[in-house]
A and B are shown apart, each in its own frame.
Chain A
Amino acid sequence: MTKSDITSSLYERLGYSKRECGVIADSFFEIIKETLSKGENVKISGFGNFVLRDKKERKGRNPKTGEEMIISKRRVLNFKLSQVLRKAMNEK
């Protein structure tokens, strides 16, 4: 599914125009993106948590050439599915 399916759900539930529902869906994801880019985690109860992790600089290898190189320090994003949802998807 894509964002258009979310827009349709909002349209059915709220009865606003399709355009406005699309804008609401965009804002939802935009808020999460902006919060994460500020370095703040986002926790949505019943769904899951978006957790940022800072990785230190480390040595690695280019898997193609075998050449050793430095992998710079970086920030990565992990998503941890909620316990409830994890259970639900394993019950079916």
Chain B
Amino acid sequence: MNKAELIAELAKRRGLSLKIAKIAVDTIIDRLKKAIINGERIEIRGFGSFSPRHYGPYIGRNPKTGEKVQVKPKRLTYFKVGKELKEMIMGAKKD
């Protein structure tokens, strides 16, 4: 599923026009993005949480050439799957 399909499904479920559904999806994504850029933790019950992680510098290797490269410290987002979503995914696998 991509963003356009998500917008169409939200429009259908909530009885919104595509235009309004697009504004809604963009608003939600912009809010999530803002939180991530600001280093805020996001917690959505039943879905999961996004938390900022810092990674220190390290010496890595270019997997193609084997050459050593200095990897700079960086920030990334770690997503932890919520309990309900985890069960939904695992349940689907068992069937």
Residues in chain A within 8 A of chain B (CB atoms): 1-3, 5-6, 9-10, 13-14, 23-25, 27-29, 31-48, 52, 54, 73-79, 81, 85-86, 88-90, 92
Contact = CB atoms under 8 A, between A and B. Distances in A.
Given A28-B25, A33-B85, A47-B29, A1 B35 contact: yes
A39 to B, nearest CB: 6
Contacts of B35: 1, 5
> Which size class do B's interface residues fall under?
35 or more
Quick one: which of B13, B44, B76, B90 has the most chain A CB within 10 A? B44
A66 B5 CA distance: 47
A90 B75 contact: yes
B44 A2 contact: yes
A54 B90 CA distance: 10
B28 interface: yes
Contact of B28 (A6, A35, A37): A6
Interface string B59-73: 000000000000000
Given A24-B14, A29-B47, A74 B36 contact: no
Contact of B42 (A1, A31, A43): A1
